């Protein structure tokens, strides 16, 4: 088998929030890729990991060698000299590629930047297992819901005016200070914007510092209001969202720090959002392709029984605020490919990764890709086709995962018009 192109066996994770049994895209991909995987219809299948992260490393499918070991043996050809120099690693990919299948809301969370990641890892390695940052991007492959970033401040002010349960958590003084002093249309980075962020931090801090007893009492009242007076809420879908998530996590602080403070985001298949370091977010339901810097550092806020690091969370957030559209990715055409089909680039403003979606709905046949400077990982999510290079031709079916070395030209050939792939890659 070629050292430039070969199949990988990915690792799947059975977290409690995952879709159950064969309803999960993760389970479907794992079982189709590896016939020895028998889907347990009562077990959740949450994540498929594609990369070199120690918690879920990939292996070369015919030899069972770890991808990280293969890279370590020949870093120049597996990573490329420019990538080695840029990321100072000779055995790891700078990104982690995933598929997520979400049935229940994940914890509301944020991820540290590089500087804070080093500090948290040094102070508390059991909760922060590495020293890296974790910006991430999600591309919907089915209809998706999530939380992404703080709402526009006028929406939060409206909620404080109309929802006494929210004011009871925050306190009358802080609520009135926020309502009376936020500045509309503040320019990013201006003095008004900085004051807005301080006011938002005060509100968030009050929510996250509230006792479990107070959250339970006011949470029950908030859910009763969602049932009895849905018109009190400034978004038509908010009462249903509160009721639904309360069934998953009754009397949880996430009802306030998530549903009332964060944007409720909906994506159609093919739409994407970028989640910057230090911005709060959570996934609610759906199947997504996710790519991130190679890290597993999470600072949690709500909808979780796990450790909540409230002090670091309140201090670390950027308190960016705005609409869902502010965080949606803009699709770009990809000029280094040609032929049949279509390739769309999702290119976030970070160094570690970009993701390329290739489809053949409009025309079937062969699409050619010029060589990339760095390594890439490809997963087929729908349909059937082939990936070829230098005389090697590998079948590509749903759940099949591949490694493509740097400086390797490849062809994607569709067998049917459903053939769809996602390719995570890095360049210097």
Q: Catalogue the active-site residues.
A: 300
Integer-rounded Cα radius of gyration of the chain: 23
Identify the H or E element spanning 192.
helix 191-209
Question: How many CB atoms sit inside 10 A of residue 278's CB?
Answer: 19
Tokens of 276: 């910057």
Identify the H or E element spanning 160.
helix 153-162
Tokens of 194: 């900085």
377: DSSP letter: E
**Taking the CA of residue 304 as centre, how many other CA atoms within 13 Å lie in the half-sphere pointing to its CB?**
20
418: DSSP letter: T
105: DSSP letter: P
| Angle, CA 387 vertex, CA 383 and CA 393 arms, to 5° | 120
Residue recorded with tokens 């990573």: 79
321: DSSP letter: B
Tell me how long the chain is: 428
């Amino acid at each position: 088998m070629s050292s430039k192109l070969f199949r990988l066996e990915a690792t799947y994770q059975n977290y409690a929030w995952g879709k159950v049994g064969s309803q999960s895209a993760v389970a479907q991909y794992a079982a189709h890729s590896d016939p020895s995987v028998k889907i347990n219809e009562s077990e959740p299948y949450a994540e498929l990991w594609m990369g070199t992260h120690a918690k879920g490393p990939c292996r070369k499918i015919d030899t069972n060698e770890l991808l990280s070991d293969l890279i370590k043996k020949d870093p120049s050809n597996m990573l490329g000299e420019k990538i080695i120099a840029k990321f100072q690693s000779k055995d790891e990919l700078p990104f982690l590629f995933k598929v997520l299948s979400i049935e229940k809301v994940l914890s509301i969370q944020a991820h540290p930047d590089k500087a804070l990641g080093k500090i948290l890892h040094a102070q508390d390695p059991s909760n922060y297992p590495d020293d890296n940052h974790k910006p991430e991007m999600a591309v919907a492959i089915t209809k998706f819901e999530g939380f992404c970033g703080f709402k526009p401040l006028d929406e939060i002010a409206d909620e404080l005016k109309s929802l006494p349960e929210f004011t009871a958590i925050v306190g009358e003084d802080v609520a009135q200070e926020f309502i009376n002093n936020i500045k509309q249309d503040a320019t990013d980075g201006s003095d008004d914007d900085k004051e807005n962020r301080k006011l938002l931090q005060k509100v968030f801090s009050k929510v996250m510092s509230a006792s479990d007893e107070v959250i339970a009492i006011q949470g029950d009242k908030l859910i009763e209001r969602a049932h009895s007076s849905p018109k009190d809420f400034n978004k038509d879908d908010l009462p249903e969202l509160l009721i639904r998530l309360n069934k998953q996590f009754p009397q949880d602080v996430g009802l306030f720090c998530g549903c009332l403070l964060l944007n409720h985001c909906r994506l159609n298949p093919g739409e994407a959002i970028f989640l910057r370091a230090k911005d709060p977010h959570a996934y609610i339901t759906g199947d997504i392709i996710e790519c991130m810097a190679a890290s597993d550092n999470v600072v949690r806020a709500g909808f979780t029984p796990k450790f909540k690091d409230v002090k670091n969370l309140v201090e670390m957030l950027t308190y960016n605020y705005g609409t869902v559209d502010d965080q949606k990715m803009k699709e770009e055409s990809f000029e280094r490919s040609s032929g049949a089909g279509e390739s769309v680039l999702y290119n976030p403003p970070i160094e570690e990764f970009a993701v390329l979606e290739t489809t053949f709905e409009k025309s079937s046949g062969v699409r050619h890709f010029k060589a990339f400077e760095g390594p890439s990982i490809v997963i087929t999510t729908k349909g059937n086709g082939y990936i070829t290079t230098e005389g090697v031709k590998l079948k590509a079916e749903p759940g099949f995962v591949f490694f493509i070395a740097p400086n390797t030209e490849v062809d994607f050939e569709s067998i049917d018009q459903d053939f769809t792939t996602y390719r995570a890659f890095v360049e210097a």
